[in-house]
Chains A and B, each alone.
Chain A
Amino acid sequence: MLSQQLVNGLVLGSTYALFALGFTLIFGVLRVINLTYGFYFSVGAFVALWLARSLGASIWIALPLGSLAAGLVAVVIDGILLTRLRRTKAGELPSLMVTLGAVLALYALMAALIGTEIQRFPFGFVGSTALEFAGVRVSLVQMLIVGTAFVMVAVLFLLLQYTRLGLMIRALAENEDAARLMGINVDATVVAVSFLSGLLGGAAGVLIGLNFNAIQPFMGEAMMLRGFAVIIIGGLGDIRGALVAGILLGVLEVLTAGYLSSNAKEAVGFAILVLTLWFRPVGLFGRAQVKRA
């Protein structure tokens, strides 16, 4: 029973981690709390759903294209909203208000176009086969979720650590003026960061959609609250922190639902959030203080 719960928790947690990673990436680089990020999650899920239902696309097509579409939508929306906030060095409050207003409008638009009823992937979209190890059942969907999350996280790490683009992104995250003095085109780098963050958010949307097989426009909103909890617990802008905190939250939620009550599940993240802010405000991996201009 416990090991089954842990597996389920790990699956849920890896989607949280994936989602939080994109959120923390954009914050770490732009120092902007981008609430529209939750919308990219919904976009990823809906594009994958549409591809699956209307075009009969397989998961191997729907997942990458859904993520890609979310990445492109992120480039456009971030480009419109964040560029100005960034250039005028707007503080947290203006960026929160602008992105909150925008995301509410976007969800409403989506709901108007698609409707708010819960939609599902076609039957047998991912086979229902499951493997059993020592009494623990792991379904194909679960393996797909963990595998995808693992690969995407690994690729992001390698990209940030070893590529030219990664070097530029890290330079920008640390010191924008110094990055410009290196000849780095900040606007172009920001586009790449928006794309990557949208890609991660969109992939998380497809995977969560698969995990619960329930998709509706406001799913991104519920996810955003968890995303917030995860990146604060992990330390704002810290990638390892988002990863660890995401998985931790998933496991704890599943254990709470299993051993206490599924109503208490939602409270777990916020309880840890409050404890984190109380005892370690910089988060698990946060360093002294987030630098702010």
Chain B
Amino acid sequence: MTNLLDVSGLRLDYGRTMAVKGIDLAVPQGSVVCLIGANGAGKTTTMRGLSGLLKAAGGTVRFEGTDITNAPAHRIARLGIRQVPEGRQVFAEMTVDENLRLGGLQAPDAGEFQKRRGRVLERFPRLQERLTQQAGLLSGGEQQMLALGRALMGAPRLLLLDEPSMGLAPLFVEEIFRIIADLKREGTTILLVEQNAQAALEIADYAYVLESGRITLHGPGARIADDPKVVAAYLGGH
């Protein structure tokens, strides 16, 4: 199995503190890899580093063998690494349709754009109903779907999902994980950051546990889910 994404020794500063202190992780082609950890462990910082929103203080990031460490975010996005950022970050003042258009800005031609748009609207019928509505007026769950749909408009080869279930009603959480499962079945490569460790570990092929900016444990999802330390710290077990 070849790795689509290879991260080695990545260090990231957040303000003056070192938030990510040299982590190694790999995302093989076609797999779902999850990164779990407590609040402030450096999960979101890692994601921002991978998408180029944050400059690395050290280490390397390789995508399909090409060094993309410190490449500008727009170039990374154009390579097909699409991030659904924490807190969704939809363009609230624009319509749902305009948000999708922005996601598909880099489509090579109008035909491809329409194809992607059709597929996204099929996947998210709610967005179809609300195409002309302002994104800021959608519910949290709908905004998360829009953020996902917008990322899918970029035909991602690697999807970075940062806390997609955060702050959502249980019904939407279920739906989001169902969609992630669909994407996995279709062969989308996903790096998933989640606080909902249980659901994330169920879906993940491989998992990393991040604590205070370091990877303290990693292994196949099922094995991590059974690890007593993980059960105690993240799965609410005793």
Contacts and interface: CB of A to CB of B under 8 A. Distances in A.
Interface of A: 164, 167-168, 170-171, 174-175, 177-186
A183 B106 contact: yes
B91 A185 contact: no
CB-based closest 9 A-B pairs: A180-B73, A183-B77, A178-B89, A183-B106, A183-B78, A182-B102, A185-B74, A183-B74, A174-B91
B141 to A, nearest CB: 19
Contacts of A175: 89, 91
A240 B77 CA distance: 33
Nearest to A161: B98
B210 to A, nearest CB: 22
Contacts of B101: 167
B67 interface: no
B91 A180 contact: no
B222 interface: no
Nearest to B79: A183
A79 B83 CA distance: 29
Given A174-B92, A180-B53, A183-B78, A167 B105 contact: yes
Nearest to A170: B94
B92 A181 contact: no
A181 B53 contact: yes
Contacts of B52: 180
B188 interface: no
Contacts of B77: 180-183
B85 interface: yes
Contacts of A167: 98, 101-102, 105
B116 interface: no
Interface in B47-81: 51-53, 72-75, 77-78
Contacts of A170: 91, 93-94, 98
A174 B78 CA distance: 20
A170 B101 CA distance: 12
A164 B110 CA distance: 12
B221 interface: no
Interface in B172-191: none
A182 B53 contact: no
22 contacts: A164-B105, A167-B98, A167-B105, A168-B102, A170-B94, A171-B91, A171-B94, A175-B91, A177-B53, A177-B73, A180-B52, A180-B73, A181-B77, A182-B102, A182-B103, A182-B106, A182-B150, A183-B75, A184-B74, A184-B102, A185-B74, A186-B74
A185 B74 CA distance: 6
A211 B181 CA distance: 66
A290 to B, nearest CB: 12
Interface core residue of A164, A183, A184, A186 (most chain B CB under 10 Å): A183
Contacts of A186: 74
Nearest to A186: B74
